Amino acid sequence: MIISLLLLQNFRNYPYLQLELKPGVSLFLGKNAQGKTNLLEACYYMSTLTSPRAEKESDLALWGASGFSLQGRLEDGSSTTTIRIDVSMTPSLRRRILLNDRPAKRQDLSLSFPCVYFCPDDLYMVKGSSALRRRFMDSLLSREDPVYAKDLSWYHDTVTRRNMALKKAPGDSSWEKTLETLEDLLVDTGSRVLSKRLRLLRSFTEYVKEAYEFISGGECHVSYNSSIGPIDEDLAGIRETFKKTLEKYRTEERLRGMTLVGPHRDDLAIVFRDKTFRYFGSQGQQRSVVLALKMAEARSFEEVFHTKPVLLLDDVLSELDDDKRSRVLSLCSFGYQILLTATDFPKDRGPGFHTFIVKDNNVTPL
Amino acid sequence: MGPKTAQRLALHLVVSGKSSINRLISSLEEARDQIGYCSICGNLTDTDPCIICADSKRDKSVICVVGYPKDVLAIERAGGYQGVYHVLHGYIEPLKGVGPDDIRVKELLGRVKEGKGEIKEVILATNPDIDGETTALYLARALKPLGVRVTRLARGLPFGADLDYADEVTLAKSLEGRREM
Ligand SMILES: Nc1ncnc2c1ncn2[C@@H]1O[C@H](COP(=O)(O)OP(=O)(O)O)[C@@H](O)[C@H]1O
Ligand SMILES: [Mg+2]
Ligand SMILES: [Zn+2]
């Protein structure tokens, strides 16, 4: 699917902006701090009701405005969908979501407008802490499956409560019983989370491998590293393993007042098999693997939503060498619409390449 | 009472002079002195036992467990429920350091034990959020060995919504469709 019309009202630095977009690559070209990222952010917000960089909605409204509105027209083959999101902040945060002028829910958004966002900070996914890789999996799965999002949030809430109970339990029988109850909840929600992560990995591993090969010609393997021990996606098996592992950590968890095992401690392991193998890989390998992860995310959305997501690439081209850059841009020939920001013209622009100049709160086609 | 209502009330009192303020204070004091907790179910009441526990037409074999007195009001408003209540006055909230001994859990278990088989069913009508669920699971574990049927409100309630915000039809349906725990 593609987004063919984007309309922003009081969003970031745009009091009012209407933009016609075409299939292929749309390049937003401009100096720093002109509002290029803001355009991609608007798309991402329409798809997820979250921002890749702002914590709260009030950051997204034009300074001084009490809310903002975003509209989009989406085209998928012969069908057209309109999205409208109105956000007001006073007296309290209210969001109104309209799909084809009818009220809709958050989870309907990623279904009609799946997006994959990629920015330079995503590099930390490879070299940074495991929390970033978990967030990547969780964000992907939450958008594909609202039940996952709910289970995950219950799981995290249970962990914080259980940590508190672990501190109180020693020598207190009713807190000890509370702990047993929280453990039931932990195992219930945590096992469902784990099972879905593993089911994702079944196809995802292959997607990453293929994408990495496409970009760099090298070999790369991702796998799930669980803190509860080796598991497959079978729910009953996971539950059993989870319980056994908790039993093993019983004393240590009470001593430290912390839940030491579970999906909140797991990792997505990345292994390179190029000749130039190094622990984290070279800079180039790191860039390629993040790109591969994002392309795999796109494949996964395609599988689940039965349509190609829009790729939002923020400032990432300049970091890639010529060869990789042209491979990324060639993705549009596979039917992906790409919205791209850059400060300089990329060398190799093929057909279906549309440039917009972003300057002084205005976006004009070149 | 919300802050706006309180402000309007305060303004009204200032305008209407001292004697009306004194009258209000004394009627508030009267209410405070007369209203207490029902010794059976823990609900707010000006008689002991409360009118629900004292009502011979209510089915004493079914106890509906709720977090707060406002939840009793909500279920009564929805209508259709014929049993009696047990008000916990809180939930198990580990983040606030509130454990089972800090709410009326012992009293509930005592009621069921002393009922010697007269109590057939306990309906857990705690909030469908995480603390409500924890409390329900805790109670289910403690009640089942006592040989009583334990049920939970059906998931008709909006996720995370407080019980007293649930509209009446949803609440009545949720009670009807309760499930075994
Ligand atoms: N809430 C807001 N209201 C008005 N202007 C904003 C708001 N948030 C950011 N801006 C402005 O937007 C510009 C940054 O936009 P951004 O899209 O990040 O730039 P870039 O073109 O470098 O990607 C800055 O000029 C900033 O002052
Ligand atoms: Mg930018
Ligand atoms: Zn009573």
Count of structural domains within chain A: 2
| pLDDT tier, A354 (very low <50, low <70, confident <90, very high otherwise) | very high
Could you tell me if A180 lies within 8 Å of chain B, comparing CB atoms? yes
Sign of CA dihedral A7, A9, A11, A17: positive
Does residue A192's CB lie within 6 angstroms of at least one atom of ligand 1? no
Same domain, B29 and B109: no
- Decide if A119 is inside a domain: no
- Decide if A120 is inside a domain: no
Same domain, B96 and B147: yes
pLDDT digit string, tens, across residues A206-233: 999 999 999 988 888 999 999 999 999 9
A244 is in an annotated binding site: no
Mean pLDDT for A103-107 is 91
C-alpha–C-alpha distance, residues B78 and B74, integer Å: 6
Question: Residue B121: which domain range?
Answer: 52-180
- The rounded mean pLDDT for chain B is 87
Q: Give the contacts of A120 (CB within 8 A, at least 6 positions apart).
A: A314, A315, A316, A319
Q: Do B138 and A165 touch (CB under 8 A)?
A: no
Residue A240's CB: how many other CB atoms inside 10 A?
14
Look up the CATH number of the domain holding residue A150.
1.20.1050.90
Same domain, A147 and A179: yes
Q: Do A160 and B95 touch (CB under 8 A)?
A: yes
Same domain, B78 and B151: yes
What is the pTM assigned to this prediction? 0.88
- Decide if B44 is inside a domain: no
- Decide if A157 is inside a domain: yes
Same domain, B83 and B117: yes
Q: From residue A193, give the alpha-carbon distance in Å to each of A232, A235, A238, A304, A335.
A: 12, 10, 10, 18, 32
Could you tell me if A160 lies within 8 Å of chain B, comparing CB atoms? yes
Sign of CA dihedral B98, B99, B101, B103: positive
- Decide if B136 is inside a domain: yes
> Which pLDDT value is given to residue A342?
94
Q: Do A178 and B130 touch (CB under 8 A)?
A: no
> Which pLDDT value is given to residue B159?
42
Mean pLDDT for B108-130 is 92
Over 70: is that where the pLDDT of A277 sits? no
Mean pLDDT for B127-154 is 93
DSSP A50: S
- Nearest Cα residue to atom 5 of ligand 1: A13
| pLDDT tier, B164 (very low <50, low <70, confident <90, very high otherwise) | low
Ligand 1 pocket test target in A8, A12, A359 with most atoms within 8 Å of CB: A12
Could you tell me if A178 lies within 8 Å of chain B, comparing CB atoms? yes
ipTM of the complex: 0.82
> Which pLDDT value is given to residue B158?
46
Task: Give which of A105, A173, A174 to mutate to test B binding, by max B Cβ within 10 Å.
Answer: A174
Count of structural domains within chain B: 2
Least confident segment among A159-168, A290-299, B81-90, B115-124: B115-124
Least confident segment among A341-345, B40-44, B52-56: A341-345
Closest Cα in chain B, distance from residue A136 (Å): 25
Question: Is A137 in contact with A208 (CB distance < 8 Å)?
Answer: no
Over 60: is that where the pLDDT of B156 sits? no
Question: Is A38 in contact with A11 (CB distance < 8 Å)?
Answer: yes
Same domain, A300 and A311: no
Same domain, B15 and B86: no
DSSP B144: G
Residue B139's CB: how many other CB atoms inside 10 A?
25
Least confident segment among A54-58, A60-64, B115-119: B115-119
Which of the listed ranges A59-68, A337-346, B14-23 does the model predict with the highest average pLDDT?
A: A59-68
Look up the CATH number of the domain holding residue A19.
3.40.50.300
Chain A residues whose beta carbon lies within 8 Å of the beta carbon of residue B131: 161
Closest Cα in chain A, distance from residue B143 (Å): 13
